[in-house]
Amino acid sequence: MSSNVIRRKEQKRSVNPTPVFNFVQSVSKVTAGTILGITMLTSSVVAGGLVGLAISFRNLPDVRVLESYVPSETTHIYDINGKHLASLHDEANREVIPLDEISPHLKRAVLAIEDSNFYTHPGIYPIGIIRAMVANLEQGETVEGGSTLTMQLVKNLFLSPRRAISRKAAEAVLAIRLEQILSKKEVLELYLNQIYWGHNLYGAETAAQSYFNKSARDLTLAEAAVMAGMIPAPEQYSPFINYKNAKTRQAVVLARMRTLGWITPEEEEIALKQPLLVGRVTSFRKSELPYITEAVVQELTERFGRDAVVKGGMRIQTTIDTNFQKMAEETVTAWHEIFYYRGLYRSWDKGQLALVAVDPRTHFVKAMVGGSDHKSSQFNRAIQARRQPGSAFKPFVYYTAFASGQYTPNSGIMDSPISYPDGNEYYTPRNYGGGFSGGVSLRKALESSLNIPAVKLGQSVGLNKVIEVCRILGIKSPIEPVISLPLGSVDLTPLEMAGAYATFANNGWHSDTTFIVQVTDTRGNVLLDNTPKPKLVLNEWAVASLNHVLTGVIQQGTATKAQIGRQAAGKTGTTSSERDVWFVGYTPQLSTAIWVGNDDYKPLYYGATGGGTVAPVWRDFMSRAMSGLPVEYFPLPSKFSRP
């Protein structure tokens, strides 16, 4: 609600003694004397009754709360370029707009049909009740209501819709009280932003956007008359439901405006002939990028609460580029078809893919796909599915070793049998496919994804140190220092993996991974600002060494199928029994994690690996994502001092 509504006036307001609109039409077939008599009698009865009612209704709501009242308002989500993605609202789909920006046609049309003496009464208008009764009898339908706008407003805000004399009396008392604390302008602004216009549309702006594809600022006389005429029965007079009914009701409103002298007969005729370019219902439209929208809602709900998100009128700018996101979705859909529908992997039961791409320079999520088809499954595997990363976890162990100062990529380690006490038993790590390589360099051990050296390295540097590195990189999932941790015996999300590897890609500079750039309220006040504030959290020599070892994984290691014609680093991951297969890789401009597996944890197929199954998917996506971007290289370890 604009500031002129919610700002408390320091001085008591008085009703403007000069009427803005004059009642110029005398009621036909009723003598002046009769009207005068009825009016005097009615005024006396009403005035006397209200004195008693004012005493009786001591428990009525305190209308002073409206001095700071802000109607619930629809929240909107946009991509990083300002493209609208989704609208979020509870029951009320509403956009608030200042009164001064609402079309004069709409203001006059609403006042004409609902309360033509709005600017002259103190909240109630006894004469209007009699006049409405006579006018409605003459026309054979409701052409004017007996309640003032102020009475309608307090009814909508405070009272139940139950028809009863006591409720009408309460409306009158509250209306008088309200007009003692709010100006006419404030009451009208609140009314036009609060009122229901059918099809879950609340307020003039939302209704205008839906019915006529334009702002309430730009409504023509013809359009304004249609909207004003809908107020008593929005669905009955909706042009979406019955165009003929809408035009008939429009004519009633225009006739009333002409009778009052607020429009000329010529303007009335032009408006009646003007065709209505009717829009479409805008409430509860589906998001263009549902996985993104749902992730944003989840993050903001945890921070601000559900009511603030669906009723607070937030303006949310996400980190997502729509075109980039759709490219990621197309990649996932295409490979899901290859894996499943074409029967390439016949043992694939409920096979799924998840993809997350993060910009290492900002840690903004550029794309996120939670599954092959949101329509068939709304479960977002990118942020909700914790799956074992297998050997894709090893870079965290190797970085810890390099950062300790005790190891370099050329340091030697024995790939030979070993067992560790584990409770009452012994844990004996084995390499994928069996066998041993004897003495190897750390570089060779990681390129070939040897398991035994990784476990030995974890024991040497300390698993708690490895876990500490994971926390620095933004991983929040539970991690236990079990002996097999270096082989990925922990459940992590694709988002956590992509974000952690993004810090490697940025040579140790880290920001919090996020979907959201900024959140503001309807007045432009910043509620959340995720402007990147990178911090150097890793040792630069150690991470540069790791990056160059991981480029070897793609050049001559387990992920040669991930080559994209430019320098890139990454690591494959395959768990026992092929339940989860991964490839997480990056260039200096983009870090992307891709997971493939079955929702029910059944194995994919014998021989499924991160290098053979997932690396080609990563290559497909990254080739498109990097197209047109300059080739960049990771810094050499020689540029930095060794710990």
How far is Cα 515 from Cα 500, in angstroms, rounded to an integer?
15
| Distance (Å, whole) CA 401 – CA 462 | 9
E-strand stretches of 378-465: 412-415, 420-422, 425-427, 438-441
Tokens 């942020």 found at: 383
- Helix (H), strand (E) at residue 435: none
Q: Which runs of E-coded beta strand occur in 232-297?
A: none
In our burial notation (b when 16+ CB lie closer than 10 A, e otherwise), range 117-128 reads bbbbbebbbbbb
- Spatial neighbors of 34 by CB under 8 A, at least 6 apart, are none
Q: For residue 192, give the nearest of 228, 243, 232 by alpha carbon.
A: 228
* Phi, psi of 526, rounded to the nearest 5 degrees: -80, 120
Tokens of 170: 């309460």
Catalytic residue of the set 2, 95, 103, 114: 114
Task: Examine the residue annotation and report whether 114 is marked as an active-site residue of this protein.
Answer: yes
Q: Is 349 helix (H, G, I), strand (E, B) or coil?
A: coil
Do 579 and 602 touch, CB atoms closer than 8 A?
yes
CA angle 256/262/268 to nearest 5° reads 65
**Spatial contact of 360 and 502, defined as CB atoms under 8 Å apart:** yes
Distance CA 264, CA 272 (A): 12
**Paired tokens of 294:** 């749902």
Question: With contact defined as beta carbons under 8 Å apart, do 501 and 594 qualify?
Answer: no
Strands 590-598 and 364-369: unpaired
Angstrom distance (rounded) from CA 146 to CA 165: 13
What is the C-alpha to C-alpha distance for residues 416 and 413, in angstroms, rounded to an integer?
A: 9
User: Which residue out of 210, 391, 545, 591 is catalytically annotated?
Assistant: 391
Q: Are 203 and 211 in contact (CB under 8 A)?
A: no
Residues 29 and 214 sit within 8 Å (Cβ to Cβ): no
Q: Residue 334, class by beta-carbon neighbours within 10 Å (0-12 exposed, 13-18 middle, 19+ buried)? A: middle
Sheet holding 364-369, edge to edge: 364-369, 351-359, 590-598, 580-587, 569-574
Task: List, by residue number, the catalytic residues.
Answer: 114, 391
